[in-house]
Each structure stands twice: as C-alpha cells, then as structure tokens.
Amino acid sequence: MSVHNTPQTVTIKTLAKLKAEGEKFSCLTAYDYCSAYAVSKAGVEVILVGDSLGMVIQGHDSSLPVTIDDIAYHIRCVRRGNVGSMIMADMPFMSFYSEDVTLKNAAALMSEGAHIVKLEGGAWLSETTRLLSERGIPVCAHMGLTPQSVNHLGGYSVQGRDPDAAQTMVDEALVLQEAGASMLLLECIPEELGERITKALHIPVIGIGAGAKTDSQIMVWHDFIGMWPGRPAKFVKNFLADTDGDIQAAIALYHSQVKAGTFPGPEHSYE
C-alpha cells in the first residue's frame, strides 16, 4: 500500500481545541484554485466559499441570486487548491427552506468537498441545525447582520445595539449551540456583544465586524486585497497595501495579526 504525505486537514476538533486553549484562528474567503492554495499554505485555518461570490465574482448587488450550483462549482475549484484548511460552504438564499431540500443541498456541498456548511438565521434554525448535525453534517450558524435577509432588515446596518435585541441574540446563540451547531459566525455587531456571546458559548465564534474578542476573524478576499470597487465597510482592512503588493506576505500578516489579537483594532469595531 502506498503512503501519501498529505497535509492534515483542520477539523471541528482542531478549532474546538484552539478555543479551549485560548488560541485564536483565522478565516478568509476564497473562490478559486490559486487563492485557496495561497490562503491554505499560509496556515489560515478556515476557507469560506461564501455566497459573497454573488457580489465580488458575479457582479450582483446582493448575495440573493447565488445558487447551490454556484457554490458547488467554487467548492470544486477551492478543493483542488486547498492544502489543509477546513472548507466552509455557504448555504445560499432559500436553499434550506424545507427538510428534504436542506438535506439534498447540504449533502451536495459536502460531496463536493465542504467540511461544514454555514446557514444564516437565529433560533428558528434550531431544528434545521439539529437535522443536519444528527446526520453528520457540521453547521456554522450565522447571526447578526445576515445578508440574505437584507430586504427584511432594511439594509446593511449594525445589529444588536438595543439591549433587548442583544439579549435575544445571546439567547438564540445558546439555542443554536444546544441544537448542535459546531461554530457561530457573528457579523456587524457591537464589540461588547461579540465578546459576551463568545464567552457564553463553548463552540468557536468567528467575527466579521464583531470586535477583537471573538475566537476568530474572517474577511472577504476582495476586501482583504482592496479590490472591491465599492465603499469599504468599517471592519475592512486592506492588508495588501501593507505588504507592497505581496499577496503571500499579506495573508501571513493577516493570519499573524488575527492570532495575536491585534486585528481588528478599535477603528474596525462597532460600539
């Protein structure tokens, strides 16, 4: 029997151990072979094949038009370039509206090479989360600003500033953890709330615009390299500008700053 020396893939157990030991980890989106290779070679623990591709790759004004087939295609590209990172895949808009549809779509993404799927929503996702986790499909819940609900939310804005809304978010995060969520992603919330939820949960918490006290940070690739033509969000930092255009150095800088807790700084966080 031949032995293949392949890199050990980061797993849920890896990330849980990092949280338990108080060590942070980093995440970046990637949508193609080359960026996936660069990101994973730099040691970034999680690659997200996000429905953000609808905006940064396809040119839509939101993530809503993205389909399961779109995500599956980009997972295949990323899988070929990945050398050890965990691959997380977004379940796009209306891809988990019923039990049968959810199982079919999540299974399709896992079959293409995803290691965990991410779903946007609160406590109402508890049964869906339990359904998937009981069938061996890890779930990352996504709370706070949920871009798939942008029309319901009335735009892209900071969530959880009201004390009642903040408490609801804490309570719903605990419900999703109890339902079997393996991770939680918090987007665009006050730093204090991000810290509060992170401390309340035993599962790893990833932040984007949620302050520096979460267990991890994530950025969209095109924001990270300063390529997005629109106005950058407050939580965005162009790491490529700090490394004279050296992409591999930019990834290494991002990874090291996340691990050290120096990114995001106060200027990238909400009160």
3-state secondary structure of 169: helix
Query: Do the Cβ atoms of 30 and 36 come closer than 8 Å?
Result: yes
70 carries a ligand binding annotation = no
DSSP codes, 46-83: EEEE-TTHHHHTT--SSSTT--HHHHHHHHHHHHHH-S
Q: In which region does residue 94 sit, left (phi positive, over 0), alpha (psi from -120 to 50) or beta (all else)?
A: left
**What is the distance between the alpha carbons of residues 3 and 71, in angstroms, rounded to a whole number?**
32
Q: Is 187 labeled as catalytic in the residue annotation?
A: yes
**What is the distance between the alpha carbons of residues 17 and 86, in angstroms, rounded to a whole number?**
14
Cα 269 from chain centroid (whole Å): 17
3-state secondary structure of 168: helix
51 carries a ligand binding annotation = yes
**What is the distance between the alpha carbons of residues 257 and 126, in angstroms, rounded to a whole number?**
33
3-state secondary structure of 138: coil
52 carries a ligand binding annotation = yes
**What is the distance between the alpha carbons of residues 187 and 235, in angstroms, rounded to a whole number?**
10
Provide the token pair at 237.
């930092």
Cα 93 from chain centroid (whole Å): 16
Active-site residue, from 23, 187, 191, 271: 187
120 carries a ligand binding annotation = yes
Sign of CA pseudo-dihedral 161, 164, 170, 173: negative
Catalytic residues: 187
The binding site for 3-methyl-2-oxobutanoate consists of 51-52, 90, 118
